Amino acid sequence: MNNFEQKILLRSKMIDISTGYPWIIALSEPDARRYGIRAGDTLLLKWRHHSTAVSVDLTTSLVKPGQVGLFREIKRQYKIPHDELIEFKLLEHPISLKVIQKKLLDKKLTYQEIFGVIRDIVRHRIDDISIAFFVSSFFFKKPSLQEIYYLTKAMAETGYLFKFKGRVVDKHSTGGLPGNRVTPIILPIIGVFGLTMPKTSSRAVTSAAGTADTFEVLAPVYFSAKQVERLIKKHKVCLVWGSKEIAPADDRIIRVAYHLTIEPFSKMVVSIMAKKVAMGIKYLVVDIPVNPTAKVNSLREAKKIRSLFLYLARKFKIKTEVTINFAADPVGRGVGPALEARDILRVLEQKKNRPFDLERKSVKLAGRLLELSGKVKRGEGKKKAREVLKRGLAWKKMQEIIKAQGGNPNIDSEGLSQGKIVFEVKAGKRGVVNSIQNQNLVEICRLLGAPFIKKAGIYLNKSVGDRIKKGETLFTLYTVSQLRMNLAKEGLKKLKIYYIS
Amino acid sequence: MNNFEQKILLRSKMIDISTGYPWIIALSEPDARRYGIRAGDTLLLKWRHHSTAVSVDLTTSLVKPGQVGLFREIKRQYKIPHDELIEFKLLEHPISLKVIQKKLLDKKLTYQEIFGVIRDIVRHRIDDISIAFFVSSFFFKKPSLQEIYYLTKAMAETGYLFKFKGRVVDKHSTGGLPGNRVTPIILPIIGVFGLTMPKTSSRAVTSAAGTADTFEVLAPVYFSAKQVERLIKKHKVCLVWGSKEIAPADDRIIRVAYHLTIEPFSKMVVSIMAKKVAMGIKYLVVDIPVNPTAKVNSLREAKKIRSLFLYLARKFKIKTEVTINFAADPVGRGVGPALEARDILRVLEQKKNRPFDLERKSVKLAGRLLELSGKVKRGEGKKKAREVLKRGLAWKKMQEIIKAQGGNPNIDSEGLSQGKIVFEVKAGKRGVVNSIQNQNLVEICRLLGAPFIKKAGIYLNKSVGDRIKKGETLFTLYTVSQLRMNLAKEGLKKLKIYYIS
């Protein structure tokens, strides 16, 4: 945009520091003085055809004048070699900050304005604090339906748009119910029927594990758009985490929202539908679990979410069915990536110790999807789905998917490794398990390190309704470090999980 | 709060990087794996009686296992020596995040809750993204009067509380009008009359310079609370930037709000009044400049702000007068720290080329303050104030203040150094200056580097109403780097400052 007569040209040097996310460069103090740049300023980095905003740190010794230190995140993203000439510019306040100001003052935004903000998020032109202002001003101040549509469209269109042939189907759960990992069971069932299901799953935002976190225990989930196209062409189904190219703004927005561990409903629906639009989905089944202690905790809310899904589905011409399910308890026995993966395999392998609630729910949703897409007659979906599970065809398809994505197809549910630091919580009295507090369950899993520590989580030895004796194990904590275990035990003093009567 | 059986103990090593603000430590990758810590995680650092939250970077080479790298901000704050044993804990989600969630969902907060958030901000327990959520949820969603009172009280009480003897007076402008640097002129006038005026000024949030930025050209403004007490005891007046101990949360909140260059009115009034409460002010004159292109741009808004000031003043028992002033143009000729400082000195030294509008306004407000405090009879304030200015007593007092704060009292207005990269903007046609667009003026000053570059800014060669010939200089840009000058020139293509008819 700007044509400067003078540019800053500096030679690259690697700095062996990784920040987790923010993109940082280090300038020498003399250069900073010379150009009037301060620590914390934002510069535009240009190298070859790449261009991104970066934040400035200063140093007196780690780089010399004329050099620029690149932290590991930038190096990894662009693969810039050592001693390369890189161009920097001072960055003007991007226009999208004005748009965020406008929204903070409660004004309606146009498509152009929303697209501009989302594009700036994708291009790293605005930083996380500005994104926080956008998230809170947009989602927490009742956006209009039209603004929600604009945002969904902008999020899809600032990324890669797939065009698959045939009947492209998908299933999505709004989540918030611990366990409930039905997708990796539905996927191979659908695959057996020859439908196309390019499933993109998310990582945990407010939960102990997202489907992508869990599936990653079995096989890699990170693929480029081109690789996804190849996977689908050959196998028709896949399960990937598509954040870098598919509706890519979502990834940054989620990271920011993650700070508060809450997600407004409209934000959730937008994220989901933007990815469906990007993936070219034509038939969609959405599952909304409702539970007093889950993410969606009333029928009223569930209905609002359903109508927002259906509004966007109409706008984007996706044939959609939304089911609302009252669910009192976690689905499955494991909570946390590796424990949930074990539940999934137990169902697919049809082991005797498989969680039957997880199987029932998977079969039901797979059946709906088969019917919605017209592959199977109305009323026959569930039966057909159960059949391919029983006959081992779904497990065979799952092994094909795991292999295609680079995992080990010869894995067995009992061979999956779990955290070695273990602690069993025993019942203090006899009685009946009355209820399980899902939010506290999730919070303790997070203190144990889930979802980032795959082998961290909680196994629910007892379910709601189970009769228990004093001293019996109610649930078991798993993690990999004593520090994490102590943090969780400390948390348990305040956060009760099992209610016994 | 938590009692861990296991702590992380690491030996300090300095990392020669300065981030500008965030507090960063670097862990070795092996230690991070061992403790289950990821880049971007927050830890609680404990050393002697200090305790603060820090953000984690990772490195494979800059520190060894068992060591922790401290970036320069931490080293500067706590003066931790090399090879010191430091304790770290994993930090649970602080309770105040729950409070911010509650506010995002539009619920009223109690004093305890607000105090908790503010204390966590002060203690670095929550990060900038969370503060952004707090700022936008609290201020942009119409807080109740009671919540505003709570917040003001919490901000004052989480910092140092002064108790000065005698009549403690103060003057504050809501700002937003370029130039308008009346405080450093009023201060020595008040000082001559023997009143106590412990003035704490802010740095620029949305402007080209705050009073503290400008005064810093003449003398240091950063003092500890104890030092301020000594200054006042001896000289009765001072001008300091009191961010670290006086209502200390404000500093972090301002840094975050700064991102969007907008400041909600309630946020502004809270910041101002919290500092007045902390300083123990008893008599206060507030000046609200109103201008279509200034911060407060309508009488309606000005009245709202006035009533909020008066509400808080009643609550805290501060005798307060709020004046609303329509101001069409910048006050004074210089915009930017060093240029504004020159205007101030010209008035105090009673030079012929002094800006008379700045003098008139200073005398008027000083007069009001003298009357309000009962030092001077009603109707005589302006006359008395002008007298001490004319007789050179105010200038003498100013020299005393500059010297007391560690500046050079023998400075002369024309001796102040300005940026050496200069560019004059000429009139393209003859006519009369019709108006000056303040927001664009400020934006160009910021592109030039003000307020961080002291010698950056704009001198207004022509005022509104001046008759001009084609080719005459309208205004002059000053800065210290060609890069900045180019950025400002580029900005001028879009942002018009002078309107000529």
User: Who wins on pLDDT, B455 or A34?
Assistant: B455
Determine contact: A90 vs chain B, CB below 8 A. yes
Identify the helix (H) or strand (E) that includes residue A124. Answer: none
- Optimal mutation site among B99, B103, B483, interface A, most CBs of chain A within 10 A: B483
Of the pLDDT bands very low, low, confident and very high (cuts 50, 70, 90), residue A2 is: very low
Helices (H), A10-65: 29-35
Look up tokens 């080293």; give the residue.
B75
Question: Phi, psi (5° rounding) for residue B216?
Answer: -60, -20
All residues at 6 or more sequence positions from A215 whose CB lies less than 8 Å from its CB, including other chains: A184, A201, A221, A239, A341
Contact criterion met (CB < 8 Å) for A260 and B449? no
My answer on whether A295 and A408 are in the same domain is: yes
User: Nearest-CA distance from A68 to chain B in Å?
Assistant: 13
B53 touches chain A (CB under 8 A): no
Give the CA dihedral B344, B345, B350, B352, nearest 10 degrees.
Answer: -90
> Is A4–B136 a contact, with Cβ atoms under 8 angstroms apart?
no
CB proximity B447 to A under 8 Å: yes
Interface of A with B in 260-299 (CB under 8 A): 260-262
Structure tokens at A401: 């998917």
Q: What is the pLDDT of residue B478?
A: 98
Chain A environment of B447 (Cβ under 8 Å): 92
For position A252, what pLDDT does the model report?
A: 87
B36, A4: Cβ pair inside 8 Å? Answer: no
Residue pair B384/B376 in contact (Cβ under 8 Å)? The answer is yes
Contacts of B486 in chain A (CB under 8 A): 2, 4-6
- Across the interface, do B133 and A259 touch by the CB < 8 Å criterion? yes
Mean pLDDT in residue range B143-163: 95
| Single residue among B380, B413, B446 that ends a domain in this structure | B413
Q: Which CATH number goes with the domain that contains B306?
A: 3.40.1030.10
Terminus-to-terminus CA distance in chain A, angstroms? 67
- Whether residue A58 and residue B18 make contact (CB cut-off 8 A), yes or no, is yes
Instruction: Please report the pLDDT score of residue A38 as a whole number.
Output: 84
A93 at B interface, C-beta within 8 A: yes
- Identify the domain containing residue A52 by its residue range: 8-90
Residue B420 forms contact with A (CB below 8 Å): no
Q: Is A5 helix (H, G, I), strand (E, B) or coil?
A: coil
Chain B residue with CA closest to A490: the answer is B2
- Residue A287 is classified by DSSP as E
Measured at the CA of A210, the angle between CA B107 and CA A417, to 5 degrees, comes to: 135
Q: Of A85-94, A488-497, B147-156, B405-414, which gets the smallest average pLDDT?
A: A85-94
Whether the pLDDT of residue B3 is over 50: the answer is no
Angle between the N-to-C axes of helices A381-390 and A393-404, in degrees from 0 to 180, rounded to the nearest 10 = 70
Range of weakest confidence among A471-475, B39-43, B411-415, B475-479: B39-43
Q: What are the Cα distances from residue A404, in Å, to A202, A236, B180?
A: 20, 11, 69
- Position B75 scores a pLDDT of 86
What is the pLDDT confidence band of residue B1, given thresholds at 50, 70 and 90? very low
Summarize the confidence of residues A359-375 as an average pLDDT: 96
The pLDDT of residue A178? 84
In a domain, B321, yes or no: yes
CA-closest candidate to residue B131, choices B145, B143, B120, B141? B120
Question: What is chain B's Cα-based Rg?
Answer: 24
* Contact residues on chain B for A93, CB-CB shorter than 8 A: 261, 443
- Residue A87 at interface with chain B, using a CB cutoff of 8 Å: no
CB A404 within 8 A of CB A229: no
Main-chain dihedrals φ then ψ at residue A474, nearest 5 degrees: -85, -50
Q: Are residues A183 and A235 in the same domain?
A: yes
Task: Judge if A135 and A191 occupy the same domain.
Answer: no
Predicted confidence (pLDDT) per residue in B478-499, tens digit: 999 998 999 999 999 989 999 9
Residues A51, A200 within the same domain: no
Among A122-136, A400-414, B373-387, B453-467, where is mean pLDDT lowest?
A122-136
Last residue of a domain, one of B371, B387, B413: B413
Partner-chain residue, chosen from B35, B129, B135, that has the shortest CB–CB distance to A259: B129
Which residues of chain B neighbour A491 with C-beta distances below 8 Å?
92
How would residue A243 be classed by pLDDT, with cut points 50, 70 and 90?
low
Contact B17 A59 (CB under 8 A): yes
For residues B210 and B242, state if they share a domain. Answer: yes
Q: In terms of domains, do B189 and B293 share one?
A: yes
Residue A474 lies in a domain: yes
Domain presence at residue A453: yes
Amino acid A139: pLDDT: 86
Q: Would you call A41 an interface residue with chain B, using a CB distance cutoff of 8 Å?
A: yes
From chain A, the residues in CB contact with B56 under 8 A are 20
Co-location of A408 and A290 in the same domain = yes
- Cis? peptide before B451, omega within 30° of 0: yes
Helix crossing, B128-139 with B95-104: angle to 10°? 40
- pLDDT score at B48: 92
Domain of B54, CATH number, reads 2.40.40.20
Q: Which of B18, B262, B453 sits opposite A57 (nearest CB)?
A: B18
Average pLDDT over residues B151-170: 95
pLDDT above 90 as % of chain A: 70
Q: Does B101 touch chain A (CB under 8 A)?
A: yes
ipTM: 0.74
| B379, B413, B447 - which closes a domain | B413
Q: Give the best residue of B60, B107, B136, B138 to mutate against chain A (max A CB count within 10 A).
A: B136
Q: Are B99 and B85 part of one and the same domain?
A: no
Mean pLDDT of chain A: 91
What pLDDT is stored for residue B92 in this prediction? 67
Using an 8 Å CB-CB cutoff, list chain A residues near B97. Answer: 259-261
Is the confidence at residue B152, as pLDDT, over 80? yes
Q: What are the tens digits of pLDDT across the range A147-186?
A: 999 999 999 999 999 999 889 999 998 877 888 899 999 9
Task: Give the residue from chain B lying closest to A26, CA to CA.
Answer: B17
Please give the tally of structural domains in chain A: 4
- Does residue A323 share a domain with residue A197? yes
Tell me the chain A residues in contact with residue B259 when contact means C-beta distances shorter than 8 Å: 97, 127, 129-130, 133
Angle at B34 between CA B33 and CA B35, to 5 degrees: 95
Taking one residue from A and the other from B, the number of pairs with CB-CB distance under 8 angstroms is 191
Single-letter amino acid, residue A336: G
Top pLDDT among A244 and B220 is at B220
Residue A260 lies in a domain: no
Burial of B360 (0-12, 13-18, 19+ CB in 10 A): middle
How far apart (Å, rounded) are the C-alpha atoms in residues B290 and B433?
A: 20
Minimal Cα distance from A39: which residue of B? B20
pLDDT for A451 equals 92
Please tell me the distance in Å from B236's CA to the nearest CA on chain A.
Answer: 35
pLDDT in tens, A259-293: 776 778 899 899 999 999 999 999 999 999 998 77
Pairing of the two strands B169-173 and B283-290 = parallel
Q: Do B490 and A453 touch (CB under 8 A)?
A: no
Are B349 and B267 members of one domain?
A: yes
- Is B184 a residue whose pLDDT tops 70? yes
Q: Are A143 and A111 in contact (CB under 8 A)?
A: no
Q: How far apart are CA B5 and CA A497, in angstroms?
A: 23
Please report whether residue A381 resides in a domain.
Answer: yes
Residue whose structure tokens are 């927490």: A140
Q: How far apart are CA A469 and CA A474, in angstroms?
A: 10
- DSSP sequence for B36-48: T--TT-EEEEEET
Q: In this structure, what DSSP letter does residue A162 have? A: -
In this prediction, residue B83 carries a pLDDT of 95
pLDDT beyond 70 at B2: no
Judging contacts by C-beta atoms under 8 Å, the chain A residues touching residue B442 are none
Give the tokens for residue B154.
């919490």
Q: Are residues A387 and A480 in the same domain?
A: no
Please tell me which residue of chain A has the smallest CA distance to B6: A483
Residues A460 and A418: beta-carbon distance below 8 Å = no
Mutate to test the interface with B, among A259, A265, A295 (most CBs of B within 10 A): A259
Can you tell me the distance from the alpha carbon of B285 to that of B367, in angstroms, rounded to the nearest whole number? Answer: 10
CB contact under 8 A, B128 and A129: yes
**Residues A362, A443 within the same domain:** no
* A44 inside domain: yes
**CA of B297 to nearest chain A CA: how many angstroms apart?**
15
For A67-76, how does the pLDDT look when each residue is reduced to its tens digit (9 = 90+)? 999 999 898 8
**Residues A316-343, mean pLDDT to the nearest whole number:** 92
Which residues in chain A touch residue B133, judged by CB atoms under 8 angstroms apart?
A: 132, 135-136, 259-260
* B28, β-bridge pairs: B59
For residue A352, give both structure tokens: 């005797």
Local confidence band at A408 (pLDDT 50, 70, 90 cut-offs): very high
User: Cβ contact (<8 Å) for B41 and A35?
Assistant: no
Please list every residue in chain A whose beta carbon sits closer than 8 Å to the beta carbon of residue B423: none
In this prediction, residue B51 carries a pLDDT of 84
Residue B361 in domain: yes
Cβ B1 vs Cβ B92: under 8 Å: yes
Residue partners of B477: CB distance under 8 A and separation at least 6: B422, B423, B424, B425, B444, B448, B458, B485, B488, B489
pLDDT above 50 for A92: yes
- Name the token pair of B54: 């820090």
Closest residue in A to B100 (Cα) is A260
In a domain, A359, yes or no: yes
- Compute the distance between CA of residue A62 and CA of residue A60 in angstroms, rounded to an integer: 6
